[in-house]
Every structure is written in C-alpha cells, then in structure tokens.
Chain A
Amino acid sequence: MKVELRGITKRFPGVVACNGVDLSVESGEVHALLGENGAGKSTLMNILFGLYTADEGEVLLDDSPQVCHSPSDAIGAGVGMVHQHFMLVPVFTVAENVMLGIEPTGALGTIDRDEARRRVVELSDRYGLAVDPDATVEDLPVGVQQRVEILKALYRDARCLILDEPTAVLTPPEIDELMEIVRQLADGGRSVIFITHKLREVARIADRITVLRTGEVVGTTTPGESDEQALATMMVGHEVQLLVDKTAPDPGAAVLAVHDLVVDDERGHRVVDRVSLDVRAGEIVAVAGVQGNGQSELVEALCGLRPVQAGSVRLDGADVTGRSPRQMYDAGLAHVPEDRQRDGLIGSFPVASNLVLNQMRSRPFSRRGRIDRRAVRRHAAQLVEDFDVRTPSIDTAASTLSGGNQQKVIIAREFVHAERLLVLSQPTRGLDVGSIQYIHRRIVAKRDEGVAVLLNSSELDEVLALADRIAVVYRGRLVGVVDRADASRELIGLLMAGAVDEAAAVEATGDEEVTVT
C-alpha cells in the first residue's frame, strides 16, 4: 500500500512535535524513519495509526485521503503497528492473541477456533514466521512474541506495517531473522515503516530513509547515498564522532571480586547462577547480554538492592556480601541505575535535591540532621556546571528535564562519589547521540582515573565501544569473558544467544584466548 503524509503538523502544549512533515512510502518498500528520541517519529506514526489527530496536514492511503480517529479506523484502512511494548495477553495462545477482537464466529456466535488457527498457520507459513499457533505467549521468547504481533497485523490484513523500534529487545540472531521477515513482507507488496535510531540497521534493511530532527524532515535518502556517518550528522545536526577515543587500559588490582554469586528473582527463579567475575581498577568490564538474562539482577545484588542466595561479593578485599545499599555506598560504590526515572531520580524534587539524594545525610549538606541548604545549592550549581546539565535552574523539577539531562543529573551525582567502583546500568538508553558521546567520554575518563567500572548494557555497540573486557551472560550464567581485542561482533552475538559451541568455533579460527565455560 502506498502511504503518503502531507504537511503533518502536531502541536502539544509548549512543543511542536511534528512541523509540516512530508513522508511517502511506496508499496513494497521498507522505509526507515530515523531520528533521535523526541525527533517526532513516534508522534508521526501515532497520527498515521489514529492515536493522535494531526493539527494540520493530511494522510493519503493509496492516493485517497483518509482520516483515522482511532486505531480501529487505521486497522480497517489497512495500517498495522507493532509497538515497542507488545500488546499481547500472556496467558493466551498465539492463535487466541491473533484473533482477539475479531474472532471468527460460527453458528450461535461461538468462536471458530479452528478457522482462526488455520489462518494463523497459513500466514505464518507464507511469511516464514515459524510460530506455533497453540503455544502460550508467555512461554515464547521475545523475538517470537514480536512475530506474533506481526502476525496480528497481517491477520487484520495490514498492507502497511509500522514497526516501532523493533530491534530494541532482540538478540543479534533474532535481528537477522526479523530483517528477513521484513524483506519478505515488502516483497509481497506491503509497505513497511521501520522506526529506529540505530544507524547500522538502517543501512541493512531500508530502501529509503527519512531522517527527522526536532519535528521536521531533514531529508530523505538511501543507504547507497548516505553512509552511517552522514546519517548521524543528519540526525544530530552537526558532525559527530561515532567512536570513543580511548587508550589501552592499565588495570590494577581487583576492586570488585564476585565469586559464585547466586541470585533469585521475586518468584524464586534462579536468575543469576554461580557467576564469578573480577573488575580491576582502571578497566571497564561490560556485562553483555540480551535483556532479561540476569544482568539487571546481578547488578542489583552487587548494589545491595537484592538478596544474595549464595556466593560472595568483595570490594577492595573486604567481604560486602548482603550489605545494604547505604553500606555499599559508604564502602565506595557508585551506581547509575537502569531505569533512571523509576530508580534514579525523584521527578517531583528539584534538580538540587536530586544531586544530593544519597548524600543529604552527610556533611557538608547537613549537620545534626539539619539540612544546610546553602551547601546543597552550591554543590548543585557546581555539578550543573561541571556536567553540563541543561536546566532552567537548580530548582527545576527533575521530571521536566529531557532524558539526556536527567541522566546527566544522575551521572553527576554518582560520578562525584565514584572513587573505587562505578556500576553503570544502561547508562545511555534512550538518549540522543550528543548525550551518549558525552557520557561515554566521562566513563572513559573515570576509568583513566583508576576507577573500576562495571558496565551493564544491552547495546552491543556501546559494549564494543567502551569495554576492555566483555562478560557475556545467558540465562543467568556467565558464558564467556572475552578481551575487547578478541571480541568480534559475531562472537559476542553468538555468546549472547547462548550458542557457546559455535562461539568456540569462531574463537578457534581467531586463535586467541577466550574463556568459554
């Protein structure tokens, strides 16, 4: 289906999310929509999908103007969307999820399950989705769940498919499979709009690329015309350096020593299984893995936020297993949490308070339990300056800052304290390229000061850019620790997918030392 957006403008109070955006997607085309967070990609697609109504401009589907007031209008018109967060009922089967809302009915209005199942199988076969219609959704890996979402759209006869950041939750092999499926869908005459901020994917899959910046179209190009560097420049608006400058590490003694650590989640499932890992002074060790393989729980356990079932954690030689978050903080741990809005900041508090959130009870910020507001403000003003936090004032509520500046508030607070061990979880998730660069430079600077850095990141690019050593976790186990020099994208990708044997084969050809357990 041919999709055309003409002069779309959408204003929210205080911000123009889309400003006169033109976009045209041909049948059989994979069109990448590239832009940083807040560039207006999602707003634009929500307009196409009927979640928002444009203030100005029109939507044309197959050359006829179309006004969609709700997603069901859009679905009726042949537009399907796979959201970043899946909209599936976990306890239902694939077939039930797919037919949900438009169940085929037999006589007396009973649901015709066989018919639904038959169509699911047929669609799944035609597009090589390889989905079992009778499997329960919660038992399926994330990549397959995503295919169920695609199946849902196809079942509703979507001729234009919008994929919102589809690769964020996938392993490298799953990304490959998704790319194939997308290609097949396009070859079948459907149009696919692929929303992303990852440059590498764009080059692989897109026929054409439209770059958005601050609500406006910067340009439309093709992978042939523009390389990654050029796309990055279009996206950010100025020249960017994609690689982090860093010298070889000069590691000292082990600061963090984890031995046979075992951690369970709330339901008693073993999520970290006998993990042993050292982080030495002056090196960055990255824990790589697809989201949900125990790395979050590992970090929480190290920070005293989650009980340890067995094993030990040592910090500078002292046993700190099972200490409280405050004790860990006092022992020299600084922690940038994964979910900054949930765990890192108090959104309704001013920036100044957030900058001393974990230090308020110590001098000079308080004496005898009384807050010294002058000291707090002075400290805040200094950090805002040092870490280039863009905020109207230090009294501004943290929640009103952009994601990048919120993260800088946390980074500032923790980096000031980080003298021995710095634990970072997804430090640049969802940030714009400029902020990512800045934070990466600060992380490397910390390493060069001799701080031990543990980086938990599901972005392979980030891991490869920063790490001196890479520890790959898969289903709670450490499947390999690889020196950066020996780590190819392929090797790490295979380890992340748990394909240890193949990884060993790859490693053998490289004939370097890798611990694969």
Chain B
Amino acid sequence: MRQTTPQADFLRGIWRENPVLIQMLGLCPALAVTNTVANSIAMGVATFFVLMGSSLLVSTFKRWIPHEVRISTYVLIIATFVTIADMLLEAAVPTVHKALGAFVGLIVVNCMILGRQEAFASKQPIGRSLLDAAGTGLGFMLALLMMGAVREVLGNGTFLGFSLFGPNFEPWVIMILPPGGFLTLGLWLLVLSWIERRRAESGKVAEWPAGVAQRRAA
C-alpha cells in the first residue's frame, strides 16, 4: 500500500480497484439481481451498509481480536449486519426485498466484504477504514448500476420502470434472464479493456495528458 492519502483510500475502490469490474469479487449478486435498476440500487445500498458497519466494528475492535479467531469474528460481525440489513429492507421496501429474495442473505458470503476486513480494516485506523469501505461500497454500487442499466434498458425497454422506447420496442428478453447477466458483464469487460488499450496506444504516439499520467503513475 504505497498510497497513504485519504483520497486514495476512498477513490481506489471506486474505479481503479473496482471490486466487480477489476477484482472479479462479489460476482454472485452482481449477476443475479441486476435485472432491473431498482434491484441493483437496493442490493448496492444493502452491501454498502454491511461493508461500512463491519469495517467500523472490525477497525474499532481490531486490537482485541486474537489472530486465530479473526476470520470467525469477521464472519460473525458481517452476518450480524446482513441480518439487520435483511430485516430493515423487508420493513422498508417489502416488494424489493421479495425481488432480491435469498440474495440479501447471501451478502454474507460476498468475498469482497471479508476481503476488505482482512486486507484493510483489521490493520488501519477507523477513519481510513471507513473511507476505504465507502469507496469499495460505491465502486460495487457503480458496477451493479452499470449492469442493471444495460440489462433493464435492453431487456425491458425501461429505466427504473420508465418506458424509454415506446410501445413498438421489442425487448431483448434474454438480457433480464440469467444468460444476460453473464453476457452483460463479459461485454462490459471487453469495453473496459478496449478503452484501456486505446489509452495505452495513444500513450505511445502522444504525450500522456498530465492528469492521466499522474493518475497512472500513482
């Protein structure tokens, strides 16, 4: 961890080390519940809450958690926040809770959350752990939204339930079915690596724009 500025803690998880798009973590929810934008947002918010809560507790109590039982302790803490998120979702937005179904409970086994505890919150002060959790959580939400937007717009012709193309649009039903999840993420990865390559190529011919060069050096 060469970077130590608070901005870097926060920004790292959003794009450069995006949990889904770059690290391929938390794929199960990213594929399973992103058939509509609303479900993507709900899953993103629930995961964000669990990640923030767990990082806060783990970072606060890190000095008292013995090394041998640390994983069990983290899992226990994460499971607690997931149970709470599950009950809050069911009370606040029962229809969304029904649509997400078992996948709310499955936030417990989202490797991204355990990964942040083990790699960051268990070693860093509370403030920085929260920044890191917020960045990673937002990055996860961003990836879910990218998936959900493509799938709902193409698969249902709507965005957040608002019709986009009028009655003559024939929805690509496959996009909101399971294969659409795999294909959408695969296509996003293609687009991202294409952008990456374009950048690398343009870097060969011309000087890097100052901002990009700085960021890439970081």
Q: Does B bind A?
A: no
Residues of A bordering B, CB below 8 Å: none
